[in-house]
Amino acid sequence: MQDNRQPAAPLLTHKVEPISNGLHAIPMLAMLDPQGKPYEQAELPELSQDKAIKIHHAMVFTRLLDERMIAAQRQGRVSFYLACTGEEGAIVASAAATESLDMIMSQYREQGALVWRGYTPRQFMDQLFSNHLDPNKGRQMPIHYGDKALNFMTISSPLATQIPQAAGYAYGQKLSGQAAITLCYFGEGAASEGDFHAGLNMAAVLKCPAIFLCRNNGYAISTPAEEQFVGDGIASRGIGYGIKTLRVDGNDAMAMYAATLKAREIAIAESCPILIEAMTYRLAAHSTSDDPSGYRSQKEEQIWRERDPVLRWQYYLQQCGWFDQDAHHQWQSEMKNTLLQAMKDAEIVPVAPVSSMIEDVYHTPPWHLQRQLTQLQQHLERHPDAYDLRCLGEGE
């Protein structure tokens, strides 16, 4: 570390030679090969059969949810959806390495982490249909989940804002003596925002026990990663900020699990942040508002489809003798039914009452909001048929 106040013997050079590359290429941690077979030198973390199956279920469930909801959006049942497809390995396995006390701050494509934490099909649907049972009271677009009980911070659409917040949250965890960390997810596109740089530097300087997990999935909407940055990915930046850094094959759930476990251990033991760059691919369209055929080829997508993280995990389970084809199929069809039923149930639930419109703006609605609500209610009474809303009746 360079400190100008202590001019200890610095490393000298006498040639004008700009350093154009980092000190060395950053390797990518890989544990399972594409056939799910552990690499010879890989030191696999301890993982029980139960947990391995639970990870598989969470990945498959995430995919089923995504498929269900993309179809629902096409049918006009929800306005918007955004899928995690292709990134389930990176998300579920990293979440599986956390403890329930750990806070998760997500960007928006990390529903797999919520699945892991136990968010139910019905809870997903209540949010997606903006009904009054959604803990966010139907105020946010579909997929902006949040659940205090599961330590999953409510998602905010403005990108990268959660990164410095994660530093602060983790600092607070440290001060209150909790053996807990904050796991902060974001995309490689979001890492171009000022908040990324501010957040990482703050976390490093203030020694915050946070894991910054970048999903480098190749695209930010239509913008390919090579138009996003020129350096060696996102990992090289962690090193620049003096943060311990890992680059991991994001489609290798075992590597993601091992990396996150280790990162958590270090973050708590040494009270410091860690950066993980998960190399993966956004197989889905950016969202249901997007059509990737305008900016990437089917051939490219096919290459990544063949690196499916969910299948790789299934192969691994098979090799361990932990995969029961029939049981899995039965579970899967049960899940499909559960999802469909949850959707049917949630979509007929009314939205929050009109009075909720002024709630949560302040701790207690001030006079001017109460007045505006009264005016609105009088307006609705004057025009009872003009507004087609499934609002929960007042006092219900």
Contacts to ligand TPP by CB under 6 A: 109, 157-159, 187-190, 215, 217, 219-221, 282, 286
Instruction: Name which of 136 and 178 has its Cβ closer to ligand TPP.
Output: 136
Q: How far is the CB of 84 from Mg ion (least distance, A)?
A: 12
Q: Are 142 and 111 in contact (CB under 8 A)?
A: no
CA dist 261 and 45 (Å) reads: 8
Partner touching 329 among ligand TPP, other proteins, Mg ion, none, CB below 5 to 8 Å by kind: none
**Least distance to other proteins from the beta carbon of 15, Å?**
32
β-partners of residue 29 are 248
For residues 244 and 249, give the distance between their C-alpha atoms in angstroms, rounded to a whole number: 17
Q: Are 181 and 102 in contact (CB under 8 A)?
A: yes
In the complex with other proteins, the residue whose CB is nearer, 14 or 382, is 382
Max CA pair span of the chain: 83
Q: Which chain residues interact with Mg ion by CB under 5 A? A: 187-189, 217, 220
Burial of 365 (0-12, 13-18, 19+ CB in 10 A): middle
DSSP H or E run through 57: helix 49-74
Interacting partner of 109 out of ligand TPP, other proteins, Mg ion, none (Cβ under 5 to 8 A depending on kind)? ligand TPP
Of residues 79 and 330, the one with the C-beta less far from ligand TPP? 79
| Tokens coding 377 | 């209610």
Identity of residue 301: E
Nearer to other proteins, 42 or 373 (CB): 373
For the CB of residue 106, give the shortest distance to other proteins in the complex, in Å: 15
36: left (phi over 0), alpha (psi -120 to 50) or beta: left
Instruction: Considering the complex, state which of residue 111 and residue 131 has its C-beta at the smaller distance from ligand TPP.
Output: 111
Residue 351: contacted member of Mg ion, ligand TPP, other proteins, none (CB under 5 to 8 Å, by partner type): other proteins
Nearer to ligand TPP, 102 or 110 (CB): 110
Phi, psi of 149, deg, nearest 5: -60, -30
Q: How far is the CB of 282 from Mg ion (least distance, A)?
A: 6
Min dist CB 153 to Mg ion, Å, is 20
Q: How many CA atoms lie within 13 A of 149 on its CB side?
A: 5
- Least spacing, CB of residue 114 vs ligand TPP, in Å: 15
**Rounded CA separation 195/88 (Å):** 25
Q: Which residues of this chain interact with other proteins, rule CB under 8 A?
A: 79-80, 130-131, 137-141, 144, 156-159, 189-190, 192-195, 220-223, 227-229, 289-290, 294-295, 351-352, 354, 356-358, 361, 368-369, 372-373, 376, 379-380, 382-383, 386-389, 391
- Alpha-carbon distance of 172 to 244, in angstroms, equals 20
